[in-house]
A and B are shown apart, each in its own frame.
Chain A
Amino acid sequence: MKRALMFLPVVLVVALGAILFAGIGKDPNRLESALIGKPVPEFNLADLQAPDSQHDQSLFKGQVSLLNVWGTWCPACRDEHDDLIWLAREKGVRIVGLNYKDDRQEALKWLKTLGDPYAVSVYDPRGTLGFDLGVYGAPETYFIDSQGIVRYRHVGVVNETVWNEKFLPLMEEYGDVSS
């Protein structure tokens, strides 16, 4: 009986090993948002181009949108910028930009020189909406259905592969009835 007890460490280690083995190759940076299945948090922020007009969560009602969190301080945002333009112009995706913890002049200059993929640009210099969304780091892109419900969160750059693998299925599931 006592001898049997001596086997306990081996058994525990094998169990632990199985769990570690399952963990290999999974991306620990894959983050799920607590907001999935919930409406976009309430906000009231100024437009980037027109400082006097305000936007709120009703911005996402009525059609499927991507909410893209970006800033001029974020090199990866530069990387995905051309892909966003491709999405907006070629695929006709409605992208709402959330200019996050940034400078308005810098951001406007960026959009002027690189092109503007955003249907609407919201200016969030203090990162209030970003905080409510639980933004981890730019760029992040949220898929929001026509009811204004967050359906998916993508951390990192959106490119053609990501679009085809992650967003296209969602588009088919929640896509506009009209289109």
Chain B
Amino acid sequence: MYPELGQMALILALLLASLLAVVPLVGSVTGREQLQAFSRPLSAGLFVFVALAFALLTHAFLTDDFSVAYVANNSNSMLPWYYKFSAVWGGHEGSLLLWILMLVGWTLAVAVFSRRLPTVMVSQVLSVMGMVTVGFLLFTILTSNPFDRILPNVPADGADLNPLLQDFGLIIHPPMLYMGYVGFSVAFAFAIAALINGRLDAAWARWSRPWTTVAWSFLSLGIALGSWWAYYELGWGGWWFWDPVENASLLPWLSGTALMHSLAVTEKRGVFKSWTVLLAIVTFSLSLLGTFLVRSGVLTSVHAFASDPERGTFLLILLAITIVSSLTLYAFRAPVVHVRARYAGLSREVFLLLNNVLLVASTLLVLLGTIYPLVLDYLDMGRLSIGEPFFNLTFSPLAVAAGLLLGAGIFSRWKKTDGGWLGRKLLWPLAASTLVTALVMVGYGEFKPWAFVGTFSASWVVIATFWDLWEKSGSRKGRLYGLKRQSRSYYGMVLGHLGMAIVMAGATIASNYGIERDVRMSPGDTAQVGDYKAVFVETGNRRGANFTAEYGRFEILDSEGDLVSVQMPEKRQYLVQRNVMTEAGIDAGLFRDIFIAVGERVAEDAWAIRLQYKPLVRWLWLGAIFMAAGGFLAISDRRYRIRDKVRDTDVPVPSGSKAGKPAEAAS
């Protein structure tokens, strides 16, 4: 009975979402407050029913209800309970439900934390969120119902969760990622609402900023978790594969980063409005595109769900309606006139504009690389895939350039910056980062051009960031007072930029100075990797909850011959799906990882062993934690909690007076 209740809850949620999409919006256009007042209760009700459906699906998993097709396909009675729980989002239907749960969660959050916003704005924003929810609930109910039953022939046991997904990383990676993806829907809804009522102003930018920053922080964490998971679970020690689905998560991250920066300019200086609105629409559209690419089966990927043309078509129509209608709205309503605020050729505005250019260029690059195979196929020019070399070669220069620009941009001033003054400011950071880079090169004992520019760019960002903090915190009442006086959003920015530098350093050093060896080893053999020795001691067998494993015992010795750690990489055979998975043995450290994976058995007592020495690889994920922490710190800034003084915005404007008044009036 419970699954049917879940189905009912979904249908009721759809009805509430439809009401939310229409009623408050009508109220806001006709100026009727009673209708607008529905927006918050409807959002709450919507959340309750989607959460109920999600809870009932979880219940079906935890109680092994294999009469539900989705449970039977993605779970097994032998799974430990926590994997039964995470298996809820281990397949297409359930992860879609999680997606929707996040969406209505964000809707609820907007409803709760928007007391200071004008009612018209709130009702329009919530209505737009409601429209998106209607689309996705329809998609779920019509094409991907997680509550479908297999009756009367209920399978005795389930087909099991894909062993790749039986991992801690997967328990938290999708929720984080979806929080980010879906979180951009708030910035999108704010943009659409602003386009509808023509209020593209600093207040709009200020409301959008914290939501964008939170979504971006979650997305940063989600991407980092995915990369970490790929690193230790896919078994071969790579941390980014430029896989279409990875790219799909990187795309909204890149444009979301651009959006955060451009929102800052719009808030502070009232410029780039059209651009910012476009970015908000594009960022959410890229989130939707990612969802489409993963679920439609148009691209090959390790992550892709089983493809289904019907679902693909439905999703594409959904995407088309959302994106085309919002961009059309944009085309008609976005302001095109020049704003009065002027800025010089060298100013913080221009630096942030260049930052946006670089980020958008990298977004387009990744997008192009991801869909190029599709385009070629469409034009009947054959099939090919674009691999790492293309991305590495084109993406790295953009990342380095963004770093260099960032370091200089930190010192720049709004409106006008004196070139000579800026040049003199940059002299010391330039000298210091050249020195740091040279020391790093000497430390790793080899000069590599890419390592040089990458390290330089990263240390340049770090030094400039601290330099700026040092200068800003100078105070007559002492350094500590000066440090305390800086706002939380300033510290958020510092953390975010440091995070970016840390990621850049990690990526540069790990890919340039990493050592990778594939060797044939038998028990008793020793192999050298970097300064370390790996001794293959013995092999053995063990049994896990739902797998059997063959493991190798390795001792890692440093150059003096002292034992660093003992690693037991293994090959697991999962009992239900009969897949073999490689579990790597990783000796993790802040400055280096030693990675051992057991490959194929090449002879009676010999295995192919992959040994890797990965310097600074942890920094990739550490940097993402810094970025996310910066984002969360920034939104806790008190300026977002101060009541907006412009009370008159609460008065609903009758639609008649607005119709002939395009958005330009707002500037």
A-side interface residues toward B, CB under 8 Å? 2-3, 5-7, 9-10, 13-14, 16-26, 28-32, 75, 101
Contact = CB atoms under 8 A, between A and B. Distances in A.
A20 B312 CA distance: 9
A20 B383 contact: no
B313 A24 contact: yes
Nearest to A32: B383
Given A28-B300, A29-B300, A9 B327 contact: yes
A10 B374 contact: no
A9 B336 contact: no
B327 A20 contact: no
A21 B316 contact: yes
Nearest to B314: A24
25 contacts: A5-B336, A6-B274, A6-B331, A6-B332, A7-B331, A9-B327, A10-B324, A10-B328, A17-B316, A17-B320, A18-B378, A19-B371, A19-B374, A19-B375, A20-B298, A21-B316, A23-B296, A23-B374, A23-B377, A24-B298, A24-B313, A28-B307, A29-B300, A32-B382, A32-B383
A173 B307 CA distance: 33
A20 B292 contact: yes
A2 B285 contact: no
B309 A25 contact: yes
A106 B336 CA distance: 73
Nearest to A12: B327
A101 B323 CA distance: 49
Nearest to A24: B312
A14 B336 CA distance: 22
B309 A13 contact: no
Contact of A24 (B278, B296, B300, B600): B296
B359 interface: no
B578 interface: yes
Given A10-B327, A17-B320, A23-B378, 12 more contacts: A7-B331, A9-B330, A10-B331, A13-B285, A13-B324, A13-B327, A17-B316, A21-B313, A22-B378, A23-B377, A24-B313, A31-B383
A6 B334 contact: yes
A33 to B, nearest CB: 11
Nearest to B329: A10
Pairs A-B, 6 closest by C-beta atoms: A23-B298, A25-B309, A24-B312, A28-B300, A2-B336, A10-B327
Contacts of B378: 18-19, 22-23
Nearest to B293: A20
Given A3-B336, A6-B330, A9-B331, A20 B316 contact: yes
Nearest to A9: B327
Contacts of A17: 316, 319-320, 323-324
Interface in B565-593: 578
Nearest to A17: B320
B375 A24 contact: no
Contact of B299 (A16, A25, A28, A101): A28
B334 A26 contact: no
A92 B526 CA distance: 53
Contacts of A29: 300
B282 interface: yes
Contacts of A10: 324, 327-328, 330-331
A98 B179 CA distance: 49
Interface in B257-300: 274, 278, 281-282, 285, 292, 296-300
A16 B285 CA distance: 12
A25 B316 CA distance: 12
Interface in B325-343: 327-328, 330-332, 334, 336
Given A3-B336, A29-B300, A20 B374 contact: yes
B298 A13 contact: no
A7 B309 CA distance: 30
Contacts of A23: 296, 298-299, 374, 377-378
A10 B326 CA distance: 9
Interface in B518-551: none
B325 to A, nearest CB: 9
Nearest to A13: B323
Contacts of A9: 278, 281-282, 327, 330-331
A7 B324 CA distance: 10
Contacts of A31: 383
A26 to B, nearest CB: 7
A30 to B, nearest CB: 7
A101 B622 CA distance: 40
B277 to A, nearest CB: 10
B311 to A, nearest CB: 9
Given A13-B323, A19-B374, A23-B377, A30 B383 contact: yes
A170 B336 CA distance: 60
Contacts of B307: 28
Given A22-B378, A24-B316, A14 B371 contact: no
B330 A28 contact: no
A26 B307 CA distance: 10
Contacts of B298: 20, 23-24, 26, 28
A14 B377 contact: no
Contact of A14 (B278, B296, B324): B324
Interface string B629-667: 000000000000000000000000000000000000000
B128 to A, nearest CB: 18
Interface string B593-636: 00000001000000000000000000000000000000000000
Contacts of B282: 9
A116 B296 CA distance: 40
A34 B423 CA distance: 54
B360 to A, nearest CB: 12
Nearest to A31: B383
Nearest to B374: A23
A85 B324 CA distance: 54
Contacts of A16: 371
Q: Which of B281, B320, B334, B600 has the most CB of A within 10 A?
A: B320
Contacts of A5: 336
A76 to B, nearest CB: 12
Contact of B336 (A6, A18, A26, A28): A6
A40 to B, nearest CB: 22
Contact of B312 (A13, A14, A18, A25): A25
Nearest to B334: A6
Contacts of A26: 298, 377
A25 to B, nearest CB: 4
B428 to A, nearest CB: 43
Contacts of B382: 32
Contacts of B377: 22-23, 26
